[in-house]
Chains A and B, each alone.
Chain A
Amino acid sequence: GAGVSQSPSNKVTEKGKDVELRCDPISGHTALYWYRQSLGQGLEFLIYFQGNSAPDKSGLPSDRFSAERTGGSVSTLTIQRTQQEDSAVYLCASSDRQGGTDTQYFGPGTRLTVL
């Protein structure tokens, strides 16, 4: 079946502009995650959605970052007033939280470049 998809694949923006990144999880997966990966680094947790529960936003680096998940499926990560340090690859993952395991399946990421 189809995996996690993200759009756009690349985004170049000017400092101070707002950007929206989209994630389509695997159909039927109830959990959705956003991560950030800076050049040559591991993945940094940003936010987690599970069903209708309140999201865990503990990884968001500042109040310029927000995310929502509509209808329990598609999610949008919004970065307001972008800064150069926001440049990174933003990865989305989903999981089905079945059987006590939580294997997360990742999308290809959105490479964000802030000029």
Chain B
Amino acid sequence: GESVGLHLPTLSVQEGDNSIINCAYSNSASDYFIWYKQESGKGPQFIIDIRSNMDKRQGQRVTVLLNKTVKHLSLQIAATQPGDSAVYFCAENSGGSNYKLTFGKGTLLTVNP
């Protein structure tokens, strides 16, 4: 779900479980989506992207699913590891803009050993 004020949505999982992080994007004209991972004290790190002509894309241990009908994006992390603990942001290219990204407020993933 979406965050309110300073309270980030949180997801806590056990090491080895699969994680699913959800994001609702805002602009139906957006055609490029990215997931970023941000560890404490660091800048966002690119994880995976997807264009609107696809509904699924897989990377190493990560899968992004796109449902344009309901404007929903999800990130699946397989066999979650403690190093996956971070805040995860989805971003959309602001209604088809060539460069301007609009970021969600993020989800805090905590992996328990």
Which residues of A does B touch, CB under 8 Å? 4, 31, 33, 39-43, 45, 48, 50, 56, 91, 93, 95, 97, 101-109
- On B, residues with C-beta under 8 Å from A are 3, 5-8, 32, 34, 36, 41-46, 49, 89, 91, 93, 98-106
Q: Is the CB of A40 within 8 A of B34?
A: no
- By a CB distance below 8 angstroms, the chain B residues around A106 are 36, 43-45
Q: How many A-B residue pairs have CB under 8 A?
A: 58
CB of A91 within 8 A of CB of B8, answer no
Partner of A43, one of B41, B89, B93: B89
For B43, give its contact among A40, A41, A56, A108 (CB under 8 Å).
A108
Contact B100 A40 (CB under 8 A): no
- Contacting pair A91 B43 (CB below 8 A): yes
Please tell me if the beta carbons of B98 and A102 are within 8 angstroms of each other in the complex: yes
Interface contact A39-B32, CB-CB below 8 Å: no
Give the shortest distance, in Å, between A49 (CB) and chain B (any CB).
Answer: 10
Q: Judging by beta carbons under 8 Å apart, are B104 and A42 in contact? A: yes
Query: Please, could you name 12 A-B residue pairs with CB atoms under 8 Å apart, sorted by A?
Result: A31-B99, A41-B105, A42-B89, A43-B44, A43-B91, A50-B99, A91-B44, A102-B32, A103-B34, A106-B45, A108-B41, A109-B42
Instruction: Determine the residue in chain B with the shortest Cβ distance to A39.
Output: B6
Assembled-state Cα–Cα distance A97/B98 (Å): 9
